[in-house]
Each structure stands twice: as C-alpha cells, then as structure tokens.
Structure 1
Amino acid sequence: MSLTFYWYPKCGTCRKAKKWLDDHQLSYKEIHIAETPPSRSELKDFHQKSGLELKKFFNTSGQKYRELGMKDKMKSASVDELLEILASDGMLIKRPILTDGDKITVGFKEEEYEKMWL
C-alpha cells in the first residue's frame, strides 16, 4: 500500500498524524500542502472517493477561510466553484490528507487512522 500524506509541517495535528504513521512504521510520500497543494482534479477525486461532503475539505478555522468569507460562499457556491477555490490555495485545505489512491482520510483522528490504515 503506497500512501501519500499531504501535510503542513507547522500544523500540530499534522505532526501528530506523522508521528502516528512513523510509530506504526507505515511508509508514505509526504507533500507540503501549502507548497504543492493537490490539483483541482485530485481534490475532485478525493471528494468523490471519500464520501465526505466538500465542506469537510475546507480548513474552516484558517485565516484564509475567514478572509475569503467562505462561510457565506459555502451556502451558494457550486461544487465546481468550491473545488476551484480549494485548489487555489493549499492553506484552505483541511489537513492532513492521507490517501492510498482509493481510501482518503481528512484531518487526524487516531481511531479513524487505525480503522483505515492498519
């Protein structure tokens, strides 16, 4: 199983997830989400495969989310518009994202990681 780990090194939650992966000796390719964010098509694929609502992919506590007034835009924007906004800035994306190409987790919950990745 080849894992890809999108993370932001200054994010405490991302560091916890990375430690969990290392502690469980899972190998992964790490990608700095702000420097190399997933493309619009990758985000669309993640969204479809995850079964999560698109809102779950937004870093709702981030400064950029507030600056762009995303709370209001979420109500009226189409999925395509939201994907375009998400792909425009890695800091808008909730992190970490862990995927093997088929399964995806967004954020870090130890129980969820154990269920999905062990």
Structure 2
Amino acid sequence: MQTITLYGIKTCGSVQKARRFLDSRAVAYKFVDWKNTPLDSSELECFVQAVGVDTLLNTKGTTYKKLGLKEQNLDEQGKKHAMLANPLLIKRPVIVYKPSSASAMQVLVGFDESRLVEVFG
C-alpha cells in the first residue's frame, strides 16, 4: 500500500485504537494531531466529498452539545465552518489512504476494526 494519513487527536480513545491497530500490523502512516496542526479547508473538503458532511460531524460528542449546534440547525456550509473552527467536532479518527487499485483517495471515518481489517489486513 501507499501513503496513509491518520488524522485525529492523540488523546482520543478511538484514535489510540486505530494507531495500535496500524502499529500492530506494521502499517506505515503519518499521524496529524489537530491540536498541533489545524485542519485546513481543502482537507475538510476532501473528507466531505468522500464521506459526506453528516458522516464527518460528530453529533454525539460533548463539543457538539456544548456549542448547541443541534438547536442552530446548520446547513452544510455551517457544519463545515463549525468543523474548521473546532476540529473536535469531527468524528475520529479520519484515515486517508489510496489503494493501489484505486485512482482516488479513500477516507475512513471512526474506528471500525472490521473495516480496518478489510482495508489493511
């Protein structure tokens, strides 16, 4: 396989599980911690194009609830703006990879071990 980038926050339990999974299989990846490297709009747009804004937005997290976003009834642009301003709103981890058989980058959101086994073995 090729370039794999895992995005998230070092202290997030799901991110830690994904990192352990990849490490245990000796899968090389680059880790981007959103607390140290802010997400830029082109990255977010890539994620949204691949999986959709509603898959990416973590509506179950405390940040979503604290910001009262449900009550704001945001449209897609509003949701993207909120995620750029507050990366903790993004469901983690986000894993971007390009299989040798595909022409485009693929994006996995959230920790799903069975899906990771499917993709990375």
Percentage of matched positions with identical amino acids: 29
SS in structure 1 of the partner of residue 118 of structure 2: helix
1:4–1:30 Cα contact (<8 Å) kept: yes
Q: Tell me the amino acid that sits aligned with residue 120 of structure 2.
A: W
SS of the residue corresponding to residue 55 of structure 2 reads: helix
Q: In 2, Cα distance between the equivalents of 1:55 and 1:39?
A: 18
> 2:42 matched to which residue of 1?
41
C-alpha displacement of 1:29: 0.6
Residue 90 of structure 1 is matched in structure 2 by: 87
8 A Cα contact 2:47 2:56, kept in partner: no
**Correspondence 1:70 to 2:69:** yes
- Paired letter, 1:93: I
CA RMSD of aligned residues (A): 1.6
Q: TM-score, normalized by length of structure 2?
A: 0.83
Q: What corresponds to 2:109 in structure 1?
A: 106
Question: Is the deviation greater in 105-114 or in 53-62?
Answer: 53-62
Which TM-score applies when normalising by structure 1? 0.85
Letter in 2 for 1:83: K
- Residue in 2 that maps onto 1:30: 31
Q: Any stretches of 5+ residues in structure 2 without a counterpart? A: 99-104
